[in-house]
Amino acid sequence: MDITHDTIVGELVAEDYRTAAIFKQNGIDFCCNGNRSIHAACEKKQLDANALVAALQEVTQKQESAAQDFKTWPLDLLADYIEKKHHSYVEAKVQEIMPYLERIAQVHGDRHPELIEVAQLFHESGGEFTVHMKKEELMLFPQIRKLAKAKHDNAVATPSPMGTVQNPIRVMLHDHDTEGERWRRIAEL
């Protein structure tokens, strides 16, 4: 992504939401005053535009390594990775995005009522994500870890009160389907 002093703040956030955190750290409004260039925003805040552009370029170039072959990982390691990497990420991003979404819906909702519905759907989804991740952490992942340990120790795993691991997996898949519907509605709006 080519980011210059002339890049429009709001357009950049729309293209890559991760830039919002950089603008927030620097006190730059990317919503209602997002129609100005990085140069103009920095000039008003007396910030170094070169340093801001560098920070924005750095955040947009960060990517998780596509070289990871998760299919080869032991299941207990994969559960740990999901919990530590993705669950903490989702929790942080929901908390980061929600205030912006609420503000946008409040400021522009009278002219664009779909924003109010988007904010409501996102709020519901954030709550459901939290519950879903706790179910994974408290029901599914412990069972996976127990099965992985039994396999490693060449032992038989003690039966779970939930039955086979397929039972919590079915619950998780149902949750995924429900959230998929909610996110398709957000995309339509």
pLDDT by residue for the chain (189 residues), tens digit each?
799 999 999 999 888 888 988 998 999 988 777 899 999 999 999 999 999 999 999 999 886 444 577 888 899 999 999 999 899 999 999 998 999 999 999 999 999 999 999 999 999 999 999 999 999 999 999 999 999 999 989 998 888 887 888 988 898 888 888 888 899 899 999
Tokens standing for residue 117 = 């519905």
The predicted pLDDT at position 70 comes to: 81
pTM for this one? 0.70
Please name the helix (run of DSSP H) or strand (run of DSSP E) that holds residue 144, with its range, or none: helix 141-152
Strand partners, 37: 8
Cα distance between residue 49 and residue 54, in whole Å: 9
Going by C-beta distance under 8 Å and a sequence separation of 6 or more, which residues neighbour residue 35?
A: 8, 9, 10
The whole-angstrom separation of Cα 48 and Cα 41 is: 10
Burial of 57 (0-12, 13-18, 19+ CB in 10 A): middle
